[in-house]
Amino acid sequence: MGLTVAPPCLVDPMIVQCFVGCHVAPDDDSFFKAAYEGQDFLSFSPRNGSWTRWRDDDLARDVQATLNNDEGTSVTFTHILNVTCPKSLRALSQLGKEDLERQVQPMAVVFARQTPDPSRLLLVCRVTGFYPSAVRVSWLRDGHEVPPDPTLGSMPLLPNADLTYQLRRVVAMAPGDGHSYVCRVQHSSLGGRDLLLPWGPDGAKTSHVTWIIIVILLMVAVAIAGVLWWRRRKSYEDVDAVRRPGFLI
């Protein structure tokens, strides 16, 4: 892991470009290079704290001699390249490590969409809430992958507000064609497993049964909550009646 910056420095009437780089690995060299008028000019080595010229002319020799005689500048550059820069780079990489390694499993749902043509039905597999963005979503017909058809309105990869992603894959089918359809989702957060969402005679039946059970359970929950609320209210009314003046037992 390394960091390199190249800020151009405009000093009328000449242009000097400075290149600075540092590395976290101990066997990699940090460096500082300077270019003059678009050509390599000088470089600094933090290993021995010295400047090397890349041109053999009077200007390069004078600048090299001046910088090599300036011990304070050499010590400062050595500390920045060997200590300050790698330390800052490690801190930045640690701060971003959690985000870079974040894994969020996808949520997927399969549903049918009618078309003007009654002999054609579109099956939609919507996958959302996953991170990182690399994902593979495909439709399987009787266990065989169906090539994607861009004309069916499949949605490309889009970002969500919570920094996760979503997309949609669509496949066309004829109602009652007798084939089984499965949406397969492959993502790094699934640990090598595939997320499979079936659609077809069996899948549709299972889906209907699931929704019926969910509706019944919700109705039961609402009924129980209503009974508890009525009993609590009744007990409050009884207590209030007992506290009223003139109540006789």
Q: Which of 65, 80, 93 lies closest to 31 in space, CA to CA?
A: 80
Q: What is the CATH number for 125? A: 2.60.40.10
Question: Is the pLDDT score of 4 beyond 60?
Answer: no
Q: Are residues 23 and 93 in the same domain?
A: yes
CA 203 to chain centre: 31
Beta bridge partners of 198: 182
Q: Are residues 70 and 136 in the same domain?
A: no
Q: Are residues 65 and 8 in the same domain?
A: yes
The pTM score is 0.48
DSSP state of 104: B
Q: How many domains does the chain have?
A: 2
Domain boundary among the residues 83, 100, 117 is at: 100
Q: What are the start-end ranges of the H helices in the chain?
A: 58-69, 71-79, 85-100, 201-243
In a domain, 72, yes or no: yes
Same domain, 113 and 198: yes
If one compares 153 and 200, the residue with the highest pLDDT of the two is: 153
Give the domain extent around 191. 107-205
pLDDT of 160 strictly over 90: yes
Q: Does residue 178 form part of some domain?
A: yes
Q: Is 146 helix (H, G, I), strand (E, B) or coil?
A: coil
Task: Please report, in angstroms and rounded to a whole number, the separation of the first and last CA atoms in the chain.
Answer: 86
Phi-psi region of 102 (alpha: psi -120 to 50; beta: other; left: phi over 0): beta
Q: Tens digit of pLDDT for each residue in 52-111?
A: 899 888 888 999 999 889 888 888 888 888 888 888 888 877 777 777 788 999 999 999
* Residue 237 belongs to a domain: no
Residues 120 and 161 in one domain: yes
Beta bridge partners, 170, equal 124
Answer whether residue 63 is part of any domain.
yes
Domain shared by 90 and 15, yes or no: yes
User: In this model, does residue 198 exceed pLDDT 80?
Assistant: yes
Residues 123 and 89 in one domain: no
139 lies in a domain? yes
Based on the fold, state whether residues 89 and 27 are members of the same structural domain.
Answer: yes
Q: Hunting for tokens 């069916």 — which residue is that?
A: 152
Boundary of a domain, candidates 100, 135, 154? 100
Q: How far apart are CA 45 and CA 28, in angstroms?
A: 12
Query: In the chain, pLDDT over 90 holds for what percent of residues?
Result: 29
Looking at the predicted structure, is the pLDDT value of residue 27 above 70? no
> Mean pLDDT over residues 45-49, rounded?
84
Domain annotation covers residue 221: no
pLDDT at 201 over 90: no
Taking Cα atoms as reference points, which of 30, 37, 31 lies closest to residue 60?
37
Looking at the fold, whether 48 and 112 belong to one and the same domain comes out as no
CATH classification of the domain holding 39: 3.30.500.10
Average of per-residue pLDDT across 20-26: 76
Give the separation between CA 149 and CA 87, rounded to whole angstroms. Answer: 50
Q: 167 and 139 in one domain?
A: yes
Residues in contact with 133: Cβ distance below 8 Å, sequence separation at least 6, in sequence order: 157, 165
Q: What pLDDT is attached to residue 129?
A: 95
Residue 124 lies in a domain: yes
Do 142 and 91 share a structural domain?
A: no
Return the amino acid letter for 159: P
Which residues face 168 on adjacent strands? 126, 155
- Give the orientation angle of helix 58-69 with respect to helix 71-79, to 10 degrees: 80
- The answer to whether position 69 is within a domain reads yes
Q: Which one of 53, 77, 100 terminates a domain?
A: 100
Q: Tokens representing 246? A: 């003139």
Query: Which residues are within 8 A (CB) of 8 and not within 5 positions of it... i.e. 6 or more apart?
Result: 15, 16, 17
